[in-house]
Amino acid sequence: MVVDKLSGIARITFSGRVTHNDVVAAIFQLLDHPDFRSDMPSVWDYRGCEVEGFSEEEMRQLGEVAHQTSGRHNEARLALVAGSDLQFGLSRMFIMLNEIVHLEFEVFRDINEAERWARREV
C-alpha cells in the first residue's frame, strides 16, 4: 500500500489469492495509515491477483464496512482496477449492491485511466 501525499492518491495493490478478509483488512490499513486523508482518492489494483468468487453476502458485508467507516473517507473517489472478466464483474456487482454515501466507485481495466478518474482529471 502506498499513500502518496505529494500526488494526493492512495494505491492499494493486491497479489496472490485475495479473500473477503484481505479486502476488509486493506480497508482498515488504508484508513489507519498516518498519511491518509479523508478526501484522498484511492486506486485498488486487483490485476495481479486471484480473486475467489465472493458471495453476494460477502459483497454486502464489504459495503457495510465501507458504510460504517464513511466518516473516515469523506467524498473520496475509489477506482477498482480489474485484470479479468471475473474481477470486473465482481467489482460491478459490489457497486450495484452498495450505494455508499460519501464514496464514489468506478471500475477500470486500465490503471492510468483509473488514476486520472480518481484525481478528477476526466
Residue of higher predicted confidence among 76 and 32: 32
| Stretch 25-31: mean pLDDT | 91
Helix spans in the chain (H)? 20-32, 56-68, 85-97, 111-118
Give 49-59 pLDDT, tens digit per residue: 987 667 778 87
Q: Is the dihedral of CA 31, 36, 38, 40 positive or negative?
A: negative
Whole-angstrom distance, CA of residue 66 vs CA of residue 76: 12
pTM value is 0.87
- Residue 99 near residue 67, CB atoms below 8 Å: no
pLDDT digits (tens, 9 = 90+) for 65-111: 877 877 776 677 889 999 989 889 888 877 776 665 557 889 999 99
Mean residue pLDDT of the chain comes to 85
Task: Residue 55: give the domain boundaries.
Answer: 2-118
Q: Are strands 16-18 and 49-51 parallel, antiparallel or unpaired?
A: parallel
CATH number at residue 24: 3.30.750
| Number of domains comprising the chain | 1
